[in-house]
Amino acid sequence: MKILVTGGAGFIGANFLNLLVPRHPEHHFVNLDKLTYAANPLSLAAIEAASNYEMTVADIVDYDAVEAVFRKHEPELVVHFAAESHVDRSISGPAPFIKSNIEGTFNLLEACRKHWKPGEGLFHHVSTDEVYGSLGDTGLFTESTAYDPSSPYSASKAASDHLVRAYNRTFKIPMKLTNCSNNYGPYQFPEKLIPLMILNAKDRKPLPVYGEGLNVRDWLYVTDHCDAIWAVINEGRVGETYNVGGHNEVRNIDVVNTLCRIVAEETDSDEAELRGLITYVKDRPGHDLRYAIDAGKIKSELGWTPKETFDTGMRRTVRWYLENTEWVDRVQTGDYRKWIEENYGAR
C-alpha cells in the first residue's frame, strides 16, 4: 500500500516512521513535510536509505504542492500528523496555526476528494485531547465530550477535526480520528515541557514552571501513541473517533521533580541542586487545568493499552536526551537549519 505520512520529520511522525518503515516492507511510505523549526531530518537517519521510504519537502498550505504529491504517489492511506503544535507559540503568534492546521488539513482533504472516489482510501487524522478544553479536579474526556478549546492551537485542531468529519459525512471520504493526550519520548523539540526540563537540568539552567505547577497532564510514551494509531488504521471502524491516553495523570511539578531525580541518577549529580533550579514563572494565559483521557473504547474494541509505564518511559527519555548529543546540539545551535539548507535547499 502507498502511505502518505504528513509531518513525518516532527516528533510523533518520526517515531511513527522509525517504527513502521522497517516493520512493513510491503508498504511504501512517503513523508511529506515542510521542515519547519520543529522538524529534524536527523530523526529519520535510521530509515533514510530504506527502499520503502522517501521524503518530499512540501507545504500543505500550498494546494498545488499537495496536489503534485498526490498525482505523483497516488496514496491510498494518508496519516496526517503535520501541524504547528506548541501552545505557547500559538499564543504569541496564532497565524501559522490557522494556516497549517486548518487550511493545510483542508487542502489534504480536497486532494483526497479529487483523487479518491467516494468510499475509497483512508484519511487518518492525528489530533489532540486539547480540543475538549479543560477538566476540573474530576472526570475524564470521552469520545462524546463536547469540544471547548482554550488556545489558538487547540481551536485550530478542533476546526481540523470538524473538517475531517464533515468531509466524511458530505463527500464519503473514509476517515478515522484519534485524540491523544500529551506525548513524551525521543525526538521531541525541546520547547515542550519534558525535553526542555531534561536539557535545562543537564545544563544547570532554570526550570521554568508555569503558575504553581499544579496543572495536570495525562502523559503517554510516544511509541504507545504510534501503536494506537496503527491499530486504529488497521482494525478501527471507519468514521469513528478513538481517544488515546495513558491513564497516567501527573501534576507538572511532579513531572519536573521526577526528571530532577532521574537526571541526577543518570549523571551522578546532586538531586537537590537540580531541584534548586525550579523557578515558578508567570502562568500561561488560558492555561487548561487538567487533561485526562478515558481510553476505554480503544481498549475494548482493539485491545490497545500502553506498554510503557511513566517510570520506564521517563528513564528511557532522559537517557535518550543525554546520549543523543548530536541531535540535541544541532537543535540547540540551529546547526540543523544549515543542514536542511544543504540537503534540501536545492529542491
Whether 203 is catalytic: no
Question: Should residue 87 be labelled a site residue for ligand TYD when binding is judged by CB under 6 A?
Answer: yes
> Whose Cβ is closer to ligand NAD: residue 7's or residue 174's?
7
Name which position in 28, 89, 217, 225 contacts ligand TYD (CB under 6 A). 217
Query: Binding segment for ligand NAD among 44-52, 59-67, 142-150, 195-203 (CB under 6 A)?
Result: 59-67
Question: Should residue 57 be labelled a site residue for ligand TYD when binding is judged by CB under 6 A?
Answer: no
- Read off the DSSP letter of residue 293: B
**Residues in CB range of 202: below 8 A, 6 or more apart:** 263, 267, 321, 322
Rounded distance between C-alpha atoms, residue 305 and residue 297, angstroms: 11
3 state DSSP class of 145: coil
Whether 129 is catalytic: yes
Q: 39 touches which of ligand NAD, ligand TYD, none (CB within 5 to 8 A by kind)?
A: ligand NAD
Q: 9 touches which of ligand TYD, ligand NAD, none (CB within 5 to 8 A by kind)?
A: ligand NAD
Which residues on neighbouring strands pair with residue 250, listed in sequence order?
217
Question: Should residue 37 be labelled a site residue for ligand TYD when binding is judged by CB under 6 A?
Answer: no
Whether 130 is catalytic: yes
Which of these, 40, 18, 32, lies nearest to 226 by C-alpha position? 18
Which residues in the 272-301 window bind ligand TYD by CB under 6 A? 284
Query: Binding segment for ligand TYD among 91-99, 206-214, 271-279, 305-313 (CB under 6 A)?
Result: 206-214
Binding mask 251-270 for ligand TYD (x = CB under 6 A): -x------------------
Rounded distance between C-alpha atoms, residue 240 and residue 233, angstroms: 11
Q: Which residue bears the cell 543542514? A: 339
Under 8 Å between Cβ of 8 and 81: yes
* Least distance in angstroms from the C-beta of 104 to ligand TYD: 19
Q: 189 touches which of ligand NAD, ligand TYD, none (CB within 5 to 8 A by kind)?
A: ligand NAD
Rounded distance between C-alpha atoms, residue 21 and residue 26, angstroms: 9
Which of these, 105, 79, 90, lies nearest to 225 by C-alpha position? 79
Rounded distance between C-alpha atoms, residue 16 and residue 23, angstroms: 11
Question: Should residue 84 be labelled a site residue for ligand NAD when binding is judged by CB under 6 A?
Answer: yes
3 state DSSP class of 6: strand
> Whose Cβ is closer to ligand TYD: residue 24's or residue 251's?
251
Question: Should residue 210 be labelled a site residue for ligand TYD when binding is judged by CB under 6 A?
Answer: yes
Rounded distance between C-alpha atoms, residue 284 and residue 90, angstroms: 11
Rounded distance between C-alpha atoms, residue 319 and residue 94, angstroms: 34
3 state DSSP class of 72: helix
Query: Binding segment for ligand NAD among 33-41, 203-211, 292-300, 302-310 (CB under 6 A)?
Result: 33-41
Rounded distance between C-alpha atoms, residue 67 and residue 204, angstroms: 47
* Least distance in angstroms from the C-beta of 79 to ligand NAD: 10
Rounded distance between C-alpha atoms, residue 155 and residue 254, angstroms: 28
Which residues in the 152-181 window bind ligand NAD by CB under 6 A? 157, 180
Q: What is the binding site for ligand TYD (CB under 6 A)?
A: 87, 182, 192-193, 196, 208-210, 215, 217, 252, 284
Q: Would you please indicate which residues are annotated as catalytic (active-site) residues?
A: 129-130, 153
Rule CB under 6 A: which residues touch ligand NAD? 6-7, 9-13, 33-36, 38-39, 59-61, 81-85, 100, 104, 126-128, 157, 180, 182-183, 189
